[in-house]
A and B are shown apart, each in its own frame.
Chain A
Amino acid sequence: MKKLELNDDQVKRYSRHILLPEVGGKGQRKLLEGRVLVIGAGGLGAPISFYLAAAGVGNIGLVDGDTVEVSNLQRQIIHFTHDIGKHKTDSAREKMEALNPDIKVTVHKTRVSSENILSIIADYDIVVDGSDNFPTRYLVNDACVLSGKPLSHGGIFRFDGQVTTIVPGKGPCYRCLFPEPPPPGLVPSCQEAGILGVVAGTIGVAQATEVLKLLIGIGDPLIGRLLVYNALEMKFRTVKVPKNPQCPVCGPHPTITELIDYEEFCSLRS
């Protein structure tokens, strides 16, 4: 394979990465050759995609079918006031390309479904779930398990957040932790959909960190571990999570062998 040479601009732009013994020019080249899909260009997707762009991840895909609304701006920092009404993927791509002209951003202006997800994720090395709803979360998990793709999961709610990294075959998947989506009655009502904006940043940046580590091949990813964060206590805890031998999707006798479109419980997603 032809070795990618860093040009003068890249040497300067990425010098603070190259100086790290664990990264170096080798690690930076891995980032530049990396292909990462970010699902959702919202609260989590904004910091994830912005930092991945800054880091020089060479190919970033963005999936989102929504447009920017004023209520997004309190936390989705990649979108600006003048972007209201624009497709989130376009708005995010503009900022990412302005930040780093080195990278290629591919937009998928759609909502992932059982019909399209396998073909969308096929082009990428790693998938990052920045979605805000259970149907997408389970769909993304199942699709990544079925196609053997590493997945970073993040979730936020009010003052809380959680992150874990799923590498099929190496550790548990999201269903090992939570086999089925909660019944609609237990899902917090729309009125409870409050979120302290910065929590999205904390959790999204943790997910982006996991992606960079996986691409470079350094450190201990959150495989088999769930990072739990509470902003009010300002506490991070890591909980060990085992693989579930009866897991319906990644266990030895899976009962889920094709993708499921769960019903949306709440239509107020912005």
Chain B
Amino acid sequence: MNPLIDDRLAELLFRSLRLGDLADLPAFADHDPETFRLYVDACRKVGRQVLWPTYPTTDAEPPTLQDGRVTLHPETLRGFEHVRELGVIAATRPEAVGGQQLPLAVATLAHAYLMAGNLSTAGLAWLTTGAAHLIEAFGEDALKATFLAPMMSGRWTGTMALTEPHAGSSLGDLTTSATDAGDGSYRIRGAKIFISGGDHDASENVVHLVLARIEGAPDGVKGISLFAVPQRRPAAFGPNAADGPLEPNDVHVAGLIHKIGWRALPSLALSFGDEDDCRGWLIGAPHRGLPQMFQMMNEARIGVGVTAAATASVAYHEALAYARDRTQGRALGAKGGDQVAIIEHPDVRRMLLRMKAIVDGSLALSVATARFSDLAANGPEAERDRAHAILDLLTPITKSFPAEFGYEANVLAVQIHGGYGYSSEYVPEALLRDQKLNSIHEGTTQIQALDLLGRKVVAGGGAALRALNETIEAAIADARKASVDEAIIAPLEAALGEVGKLTMELGMKGAGGDLDGMLGHGVDYLTLFSIVVIAWQHLCLATTARSEDSDFHRGLVQSARYWAATELPRVALLAERCRVDRSYLELDPSWL
């Protein structure tokens, strides 16, 4: 049976990130390390026992669209019922809105098991958390009273309806319109595409968080507002709205997207206001839609990161079990004798170690970033700004590294399975398809690169980068004290210096007006920065595990050594490309 996530790693993260200490913060005073562990345990059980067994069928038999309504697979409904009962949706929200005020770091670790079990089912809850959180943070009291309780309990689910056919990465160009109806609501009109969870039969209602432009609003990103647009609108607003009658709200399913992954979760083309009777309620201030959305973005992007880590983790465990079991060939130089398990072949172990390094690093980073989010919001007053700066800086890396490198891990899982990996009878190919989305939604990798280099590292005169540097240097000092192998530490130190130097140089280019020169290699910059950040994560894991003498600990040290020897040297290479390579900057599109 696939464990989905290595429990020993989860336990180690508890210690290395001192998650138990979060219970000492006043915001989490209702908790103690035991409630954290029990919740991780509960999610682990549901992930393994309920969701994972549904994964192959729900992937093979996607939802159907008939007469404008979407029907989910019965197994998805059953799985979602368990996820809802666990209390996943409101886990991190305060008690006042029906939540349990769990630290995001603990929730991130716990929910990794659910995402690993069946990301489409768990995704429905995750989308709802995001949508409800926006209403909680910015909505007026009457809207909160109406929407929050049914959403937090999962009676109603939520969506993020941002993307339009002509406005994906460039949300500033969206055209869905909102006209003041004079009764506190707006009439919404427009078309959205790819809206996940946009219609289904797992809940009584769906609340779309729609980005639209109020008539007469300024052009571009400064003219976008956020609306709550229920699929069916309550006849009366207030705490009992969900128990009263619901009327159609002129939101229609225009099409079901046929997808290569996340197949159990419907993504839809939606049209709003075909009959000019679609009502939306403004959330927050007019024209502040995007900045509001961005305030919630860190959380959503950490969610993508941990989902990608989980998807790679499942593939790793699948490949590991297969490699131990499958016999093929003999040791190099051996003549005759029985065939050996393929894990005996050095290159199969190379693939497994690479996967392990990617998976462990991704999961550790996701939880670590979530912890900075907890400290930024609820930490000791004096530490908040610093935690916030590091959180902002790490978010694009946490969003993109697990997705991009995780995809590579998913490819390796197929490779280790040989021809069987290429067959849909085996699970790695499905995980591969699922993983690909993570580099596309919630801002593509390219957008993350622009965010990191164009915004995050230069913000506050490089304050975030300095704060992160200090944090990593402290980890290095701890590692030295614990006599961790220099071969792991020294290359990290050197690469960290390289990042600082390169950032300065690119910043100068930008300041001198050469934006292409600064940002044109943004993804290379993102990659090299990520390699360093992951090396730091491996160092922390190896340092914490030092007191143990176990196979697990030896495996961690080996991953850290692998990363230091194989990936860290690439930092200098990529940095050089950022400095001098202009091959594609000077490539004329007509030459292709």
Q: Bound pair: A and B?
A: no
Interface residues of A (CB under 8 A from B): none
